[in-house]
Structure 1
Amino acid sequence: MQGTTILFSEMTPPPGQEAGFHDWYDTEHIPLRMAVPGFVSARRYRDTAEGAGGFLAVYEMDAPGVLASEAYAGVKNRPTEATRNMLGSVSGFTRYIGQEIAVRRRTEGDAASALEAPLLYAVWFNVPAERCGEFDAWYEQDHVPLLMEAPEWLMVRRFRVTDADPLPYNRLALHYLSDGSALTSPAREKARATPWRAKLAAEPWFKGTYGVFEAIRPRQRPPVT
């Protein structure tokens, strides 16, 4: 159920068209992709920011080449009329492809339950190439261990972003939370107050973008054959 590559995609339906958007997404958009070899699962979320109105889908794939396959091209390049109409009406579109570079779980080996977390906290950075080594080391050695002191922090996955639209991020962290209280916990305050973080935060590029997403649908998987 957990792949090594993700597709992180957001869309905002037009006002008054949410029901049709959800029906299209649940019964056509995701099922067509779940039939493509290499897609492992997909889950949908709602952006919790006030007034956002956007929805997120995170697709799990077993390799980055899935999106370059003939099977995927057949789905993407031959859209149905419903898909053409819907994609022509949505806004707030984002598309980030990430390859997993690190993962830490509260219970090692228990990927399935962590993936079912009700909240997803996403953090993007655009890190200069020459600073990626230290940034990654800080995140793995200093930041994540302290965050995981909060019992609500179930898993942290980090990705190298290989395709970014619309903003040029090259690092994405997905934090799987059992409860939003993790974001105001002493563990997070501690993680954000270390000397190593303060050193990086003083650099002009250290400006993260953050989003909190609430799961709205069960995870979809490929059909059983």
Structure 2
Amino acid sequence: MNSTKGNAVLFSEMTPPAGREDEFNDWYDGHHSPSHVQGVPGFISAMRYQAPTGPHFLAIYELTGPEALEHEEYKKRKLTPDNPTYQMLKSVSGFTRYIAKERFALGRNDEPSETIDAAVIFCALFTVPKGRRVEFEDWFDEEHAPMLQENAGWFFSRRLEIVEQDPEPRTHLIIHYLRDLQALDAPERAAASNTEWRNKLALENWFDPTVATYLRRKKRFLKSD
């Protein structure tokens, strides 16, 4: 494991109240994210993102594993937050919180720390029935991710198993790290989305992911900051 990427993630989305975006970002950048990364064992790093349109934000914390959230320091912060955190969290909307373990990763080089700071990420949340998970995972690992990375703008892909979810009962989190928004229009993506295997899966009712694109905001929060 390198110094910025972990074996699991805490994936959390929020929308601040209208007119309070600057206050929200000051709290998140100046207090919430750095405090968690520097103060909670098992938190390795964090990156914040913003939706291309509208004030909707995402934070991805890299963890040594899901057990990082069982540490007493994290439990204390979650159950008894300080006043700035309490006041801000009770005012946000669009909240999601998913804890997920990485089960597969494929990159264009051997050092994912060079690509997980990509300018754009494309995320998909699936709810896959137990009896269909093996085929879904084989499709993603063996066909879909390799086809996407035939385009130089698709840097790195991760498939994660969700072990704790709020609010939706999702089972799989997919995160792709991209050079720019134009990568979403790449012919390789169109080809990967129109194979016999993918089209067969798409006929099933559960194959209806929630997808979102986010733009990186600033620098990554690290233990050493």
Give the structure-2-normalised TM-score: 0.95
Q: Does structure 2 conserve the Cα–Cα contact (< 8 Å) formed by 1:32 and 1:75?
A: no
**C-alpha displacement at 1:74, in angstroms?**
2.0
Question: What residue number does 2:148 align with?
Answer: 147
Verify the 8 A CA contact 1:47 1:214 in the aligned structure 2: yes
> What's the counterpart of residue 20 of structure 1?
23
Residues in 1 aligned to 2:35 and 2:185: alpha-carbon distance in whole angstroms:
39
**Counterpart-to-counterpart distance in 2, 1:147 and 1:140:** 11
| 2:82 pairs with 1:86 | no
| Matching of residue 8 in structure 1 with residue 11 in structure 2 | yes
1:47 alignment partner in structure 2: 51
For 2:80 and 2:30, locate their aligned partners in 1 and report how far apart those are by CA, in whole Å: 17
Contact 2:122–2:176 (Cα < 8 Å) also in 1: yes
2:75 partner letter? A
The answer to whether 1:194 aligns with 2:208 is no
Aligned to 2:62: 60
**Structure 1 stretches of 5 or more lacking a match?**
none
Whole-angstrom CA distance in 2 between matches of 1:81 and 1:64: 26
Unaligned runs of 5+ residues in structure 2 are none
Question: What is the number of residues matched between the two proteins?
Answer: 221
Report SS of the residue matched to 1:115: coil
Contact in 2 for aligned 1:118/1:179 (Cα 8 Å)? yes
What CA distance in whole angstroms lies between the structure 1 residues aligned with 2:87 and 2:117? 31
C-alpha separation between the residues in 2 aligned to 1:123 and 1:85? Answer: 30
RMSD: 1.0
> Paired residue for 1:118?
119
Q: Distance in 2 between matches of 1:163 and 1:60?
A: 15
Is 1:45–1:57's contact at 8 Å kept on the other side of the alignment? yes
Q: Are 2:35 and 1:32 aligned?
A: yes
Once the two structures are TM-superposed, the CA of residue 37 in structure 1 deviates from its matched residue by 1.0
CA deviation profile, 1:102-122 (whole Å, cap 9, x unmatched) = 000011x21111111000100
Other structure's SS at 2:29 match: helix
Query: Under a length normalisation based on structure 1, what TM-score does the superposition of the two structures give?
Result: 0.95
